[in-house]
Copies of this chain bind each other. A is one copy, B any other.
Amino acid sequence: MKQYRVLIDCGDKKGLVYKVSKLFFDLELNILSNHEFVDADNNRFFMRTVIEGDIEASKLSSTLNSELDPDVNIQIVLPVKKNIVLMVTKESHCLGDILIRYEAGELDANIIAVVSNYDLLKPLVQKFNIPYFTVSHNDLSREEHEAKVLDCLSQFKDIDYIVLAKYMRILTPSFVEAYRTKLINIHHSFLPSFIGANPYKQAHERGVKIIGATAHFVTNDLDEGPIISQDVINVQHDHSWKDMQRAGRDVEKITLSRALKLALEDRIFIEGNKTIIF
């Protein structure tokens, strides 16, 4: 018995659930869980089904592709560990949260490398026997630095996700293009509030009573892209911006790890600048 995650999206039309579930039925597959959503605004259909049965992936794939219309996007994913790369700068809370989950076997992923523009977090990463690559940006233009980072990443094939776990440099469009839909970032504010530098200072100056964090796919720059998860925490007048930053770190790490879990379980569809999450 094998298990598969089948992800389908296409323009909405009558009978989609029927057609797909008929195929599963004819192939004698068990449906373990099934979620659908019709985005009526954009007339699009999304479906995530976890199935179980005695069938090869290739056979499942060829059957679905031959029986469903050609405009239907079909992804068949085995529930195996994905390959992820972490990118960090100086702060360790998001990185550390992921490492501890990794060590506990809680993460459905292989961390194949950590890449940073500083070597500050190397001792922490090496404790967990994960390769750490320092690609300093000193004396380099943004483009030169990114070229080096891309070069470093190019040694790893089959990267499923690159997790920007407090990587504090803005990526160029070409970098984003190279890893389209694979870049997950944690932004240290409740987007779209406080886009840009030092959101905690901005939040402190604005006198907000709640701060938050946003995990999202990266599209054009660090603060845009489809939001995966958000969370918040209460603050008060006696929080300095550094207190806010400290409090915010807990929200950041939990929010990023939650988004990563959703990605590793293939629960996220990207539609334009939004996500559908099952």
| A residues in contact (CB < 8 Å) with B | 14-15, 17-18, 21-22, 24-25, 28, 30-41, 91-93, 96-97, 99-101, 103-104, 106, 124, 127-128, 190-194, 205-210, 212, 226-232, 234, 236-238, 240, 246, 250, 254, 257-258, 273-277
Docked pose: A155 CA to B110 CA in angstroms: 40
- Flag if B18 contacts A14 (CB, 8 Å): no
Q: Would A38 and B28 count as touching, CB distance under 8 A?
A: no
A30 to B250, CA, bound (A): 32
Instruction: Let me know if A192 and B207 touch, CB within 8 A.
Output: no
Q: Are B254 and A227 in contact (CB under 8 A)?
A: no
Q: Which residues on B sit within 8 Å (CB–CB) of A208? A: 191-192, 227, 230
B100, B106, B206: the one contacting A100 at CB < 8 Å is B100
List the number of copies, as a whole number: 4
> Interface of chain A, helix or strand or loop or mixed?
mixed
Nearest Cβ in chain B — how far from A232, in angstroms? 5
Knowing A21-B17, A232-B232, say if A209 contacts B194 (CB, 8 Å): no
Chain B residues with Cβ under 8 A from A229's Cβ? Answer: 209
A248 to B129, CA, bound (A): 28
Let me know if A25 and B21 touch, CB within 8 A.
no
Q: Report the Cα distance A226→B258, complex, angstroms.
A: 28
Please measure, in the bound complex, the distance between the C-alpha atom of A37 and the C-alpha atom of B24, giving whole angstroms: 17
Q: How far is the CB of A51 from chain B (nearest CB, A)?
A: 11
Q: List 22 A-B contacts (CB under 8 A).
A: A14-B25, A14-B28, A17-B34, A91-B104, A93-B101, A93-B104, A93-B106, A96-B99, A99-B100, A106-B246, A127-B128, A190-B190, A191-B206, A192-B206, A192-B208, A206-B227, A208-B227, A210-B232, A212-B232, A237-B277, A250-B257, A250-B258
